[in-house]
Amino acid sequence: MRVQNRHVIYLQGYDPRGLAQYYRMFRTELRKFGQLYEVATTISRPTSKSDEEITSWSIEAKAAEWQTKTTYDFLRFEDFIQNDLAAPVWRTVLQAAWIYWGLVFRGTLVRFWNANWRFATFITWPHLVVLVEALVAAASGFVFAKGLDALHLPLPFSVLVGVAIFFVLVYGALKYTENYTYAKYLLCDTIWTWQFSNRARPEWDSRIDRFAEYLCEVVRDSDADEIVIVGHSSGSFLAAEMVARALRRAPGLGSHSPRLVLLTLGSTFPIVGFHRAASDFREHLRQLAIEPSIDWIDCQARKDVMSFFRIDPIAAHGIEVGDARRNPTIVPVRFREIIRPEHYNLFRWQFFRVHFQFVMANERPHPYDFFMIVCGPVPLRERMARPAAALAIATATDPASREKAWAELQSPVSHGETAAVELSSLREPTARRRG
């Protein structure tokens, strides 16, 4: 099977930048993808539905021996996220601190630590930033108050000034260092995931329900060869929620339709599923684990501290399905192998940049390539099950090698088949495709 027509549905995670910046990034990275593989690409302007919850554009990719057209839907939440970020700083800090210490005392943070200590450290980071800023502000206020006291000013006045200085400095530090620390954004993220886990955000639930209905419509009406639902970062559990809710509306959703694949990138399932109140979410994971009509592929990277690496989204939640389990296929990805060394060393400690590499263009040909997943001729299940053959189709310089790779890909692949080798062992850094 060679894909000529694909429909991609991308769920935005907790990212306030929204459509405009994402589309600019996508267009830039698409151009890089075309240059790397010598593929001609065109992209349309984005168009939104009347409610502006879904925006779409189309991509055409053409090589010497294949051509594809992709409809790309961007499912939006930035209006909710921007409202969260507009909340008063003091309320965000107090609410996030209350939730964080609740995680500590309930043992949830320990579970995060045991699952992935890097992620547990990462979500602790904004609280450490606020604590350090508060201590520095308190020390400054205390010193200033002592100075006024030494001038024999009334003690109540000195204390009042010291307290005022404390609050002004904390507010200023949070506001003017945000572009470097991301403290308020990460605190808002903590609040949101806790509220979502406890079903305390009905507006999010309502929109996911509408997206689930939209997915059912796409599956029913699409003439695509495959439909890929992509969830990146916190979009991973939002995508899983959407698919699970769509399955409840239309059991066997992918059985008599274009092939349906759920692709989760840099996933953060435990940030919701480890909460005691998230029993319905865990039930949705159990449902996806045994669903025969859908392939689920979960890509993870060790260098990405903003996600959970080397974790099984099903077993980690204590979900037992025995031999009925069919999903997900877990695929490790090494960013070091898809980015040139001189560039990788520049941003390897920029955690947000690393986190977004999942949805950015490669600098080296590699079996994991987001834009090959979106625009290439190889179906996603076969790409992940037989990565060497998928890479050969993109990089081989002679027709015989490409036809051999196609023959390998077209042999039967069992649902949920795990790749025999990790993607990290298969890159070809200097090869360029010729057909």
Percent of the chain exceeding pLDDT 70 equals: 94
Q: Could you tell me which of 214, 239, 217 has the C-alpha nearest to residue 229?
A: 239
CA dihedral 273, 279, 284, 285 (to 10 degrees): 40
Distances (CA, A) of 400 to 39, 119, 430, 431: 20, 46, 20, 16
For residue 422, what pLDDT band results from cuts at 50, 70 and 90?
Answer: low
The answer to whether 276 touches 106, Cβ cutoff 8 Å, is yes
Q: Under a CB-based contact definition with an 8 Å cutoff, are residues 239 and 303 in contact?
A: no
Q: Which amino acid is at 235?
A: G
Stated pTM of the model: 0.89
**How many Å apart are CA 126 and CA 311, to the nearest integer?**
24
CB atoms within 10 A of CB 420: 9
Terminal CA-CA length for the chain: 18
Please compute the mean of the pLDDT values over residues 44-57 and round it to a whole number: 89
pLDDT of amino acid 435: 29
* Mean pLDDT, rounded, of the chain: 87
393 pLDDT above the threshold of 80: yes
Residue extents of the structural domains in the chain: 5-79+198-425, 87-194
Residue 370 pLDDT > 90, yes or no? yes
Residue 73 predicted with pLDDT over 50: yes
Question: How many Å apart are CA 183 and CA 129, to the nearest integer?
Answer: 7
Token pair, residue 290, equals: 């045994």
Higher pLDDT, 26 or 426: 26
Between CA 325 and CA 287 the distance in angstroms is 10
- In the predicted structure, residue 211 carries a pLDDT above the cut 50: yes
Question: Is there a contact between 271 and 235 (Cβ–Cβ < 8 Å)?
Answer: no
DSSP state of 256: T
Q: What is the mean pLDDT of residues 213-242?
A: 94
| Model confidence pLDDT, tens digit, residues 253-268 | 878 777 899 999 999 9
Four-way CATH pick for 5-79+198-425: 3.40.1130, 3.40.50, 1.20.1300, 3.30.420: 3.40.50
